[in-house]
Amino acid sequence: MLQRSVLESSPSAPHTSSLPPGGRKPTPNRAWPQRLGTLVLCALILTWAGHGVAATDQGGFTQQCAGFAQDPLLKPLWPGTLEQGTTKEQGSAKRSTALTTMVPRLSLRGMALATYEPHKTTPTAPTLEAVFGLVPGAQRQIIETPFSQDARSVVLHPHVLATVAHALVPDVVDVHVAQQPTIQTVPLRVTSMSVVVRATPAEEGISAQVAHTNVPYDLALVQSDKSRGLQPLPYPAVLSYGTGDPERPVGGLLAGDCVAAIVTSRTDKAYDTGQDHLVLGKVLAKVPVATNNLTQTKLNVNMFTTDLPVQPGDSGSPVLALRAGKPVLVGLVSATMYPTATFTYVSRIDPLLALADALRLAASQPDKPLLVRNADAPGPQ
């Protein structure tokens, strides 16, 4: 596994100047025009330098990760970092409580129709026909079977959560047949489904509804029925593409920039411990980098490539970057090739920002129903 250390900013080297006895350097007498020109030149240099510093501070993201260690909410996430007078167990519980209400678990449960082959034919060499269930003479049946899958989400506003679209669609279901191994197959049709948001795996959770899905960009918004126990992430969601001219955006995420993800802590057997930890990485490319035909089919233009070490079940986890030394939300964990290859793909949060704000406004005015108007329909007269 990739190991990284927190980069600490090194102090600037002291600037020294040798002065002669008396505390001053002798300067030759200059005529006033020369002195005036020198003063004007110095003023221009200082003005230019000030603009340069401002542009750097207001610019894009940073390649240094030290800002995460300095953030009071994220600082305790590194192992061995405890507040004075706090035991290891107390520190773990404190940070778990603080983060899990902002980055809750998302559970999808339901029933789906699936097809299976009740009587296996004589084992033969694997073929493409067998992979797609087209074995000659095989008779398939349809059965209704339960499914469940877990992911992560992030609270953007009260009642409004962001996650990835594929977390809300069952991709595989298990079919249990007597005297046969469990069969994993693609669901034919979902017959019932429910979404539950919970801070820890043991909680009963809060029911939620799917408010918006953007399958091509692998993004989704979920509205919880209650905001009890949930808190918005205190870091602002920003445009990772940058701002200004679409052809020449300013301040966008670049290769080499530092990123971090809040992911699930697991035991050696990959069980969810109910706590979270932070993983650090770098942006490898501003676009998704496909390594083979299989990964290419699962990628989209809204992704960027990182080396974040994540695991299955971390989909929907928030990905943070640093702007002006402060953490900001830039995307959600979407797919990974880790540990086969350290490529993790992040769906940018940009397309969800305006939609999430509209849902926030609608949730704050419960007496006014959410109106859906056809874009082609005439407006009110």
- CA distances to 10, 96, 187 from 279, rounded to whole Å, are 22, 15, 33
Q: What is the pLDDT of residues 319-362, one digit of tens each?
A: 999 999 999 999 999 988 866 667 899 999 999 999 999 999 98
Q: What is the pLDDT of residues 284-300, one digit of tens each?
A: 999 998 776 656 667 88
Q: What is the pLDDT of residues 244-298, one digit of tens each?
A: 998 898 999 999 999 999 998 887 767 888 888 899 999 999 999 877 665 666 7
The tens place of each residue's pLDDT in the chain, 381 residues long, gives 333 333 333 333 332 223 333 333 333 444 444 444 444 334 433 343 333 333 333 458 999 998 998 898 888 876 545 444 444 444 444 455 578 889 999 999 999 999 887 766 555 667 777 667 677 767 788 989 999 999 999 999 989 999 999 999 998 888 887 777 788 888 989 999 999 999 888 888 899 999 999 999 999 999 998 777 789 999 999 999 999 998 898 999 999 999 999 998 887 767 888 888 899 999 999 999 877 665 666 788 999 999 999 988 899 999 999 999 999 999 999 988 866 667 899 999 999 999 999 999 988 876 655 554 444 545 554
Extended strands (E) in 159-271:
160-163, 173-175, 183-185, 189-198, 206-214, 219-224, 258-266
Residues contacting 362, CB < 8 A, separation 6+: 368, 370
- Helix, strand, or coil here: 69? helix
Whether the CB-CB separation of 285 and 297 falls below 8 Å is answered with no
Nearest-CA neighbor of 263 among 128, 100, 375, 372? Answer: 100
- CA distances to 5, 160, 197, 260, 309 from 264, rounded to whole Å, are 20, 21, 15, 13, 12
Nearest-CA neighbor of 349 among 235, 267, 269? Answer: 235
Whether the CB-CB separation of 73 and 116 falls below 8 Å is answered with no
Whether the CB-CB separation of 86 and 143 falls below 8 Å is answered with no
The reported pTM is 0.75
Secondary structure, 3-state, 82-109: CCCCCCHHHHHHHHHHHHHCCCCEEEEE
Q: What are the φ and ψ backbone dihedral angles of 154, each rounded to 5 degrees? A: -140, 135
Give the CA count within 13 Å in the CB-facing half-sphere of 261.
30
- Write the DSSP string, 122-181: ------HHHHTT--TT---EEEEEEEEEEEE-EEEETTEEEE-GGGGS---EEE--TTSP
Strands 272-285 and 303-306: antiparallel
Amino acid 350: pLDDT: 97
Cα 330 from Cα 306, distance rounded (Å): 12
Strands 183-185 and 173-175: antiparallel
With b for 16 or more beta-carbon neighbours within 10 A and e for fewer, the 351-371 pattern comes to ebbebbeebbebbeeeeeeee
Nearest-CA neighbor of 220 among 176, 171, 162, 295? Answer: 162
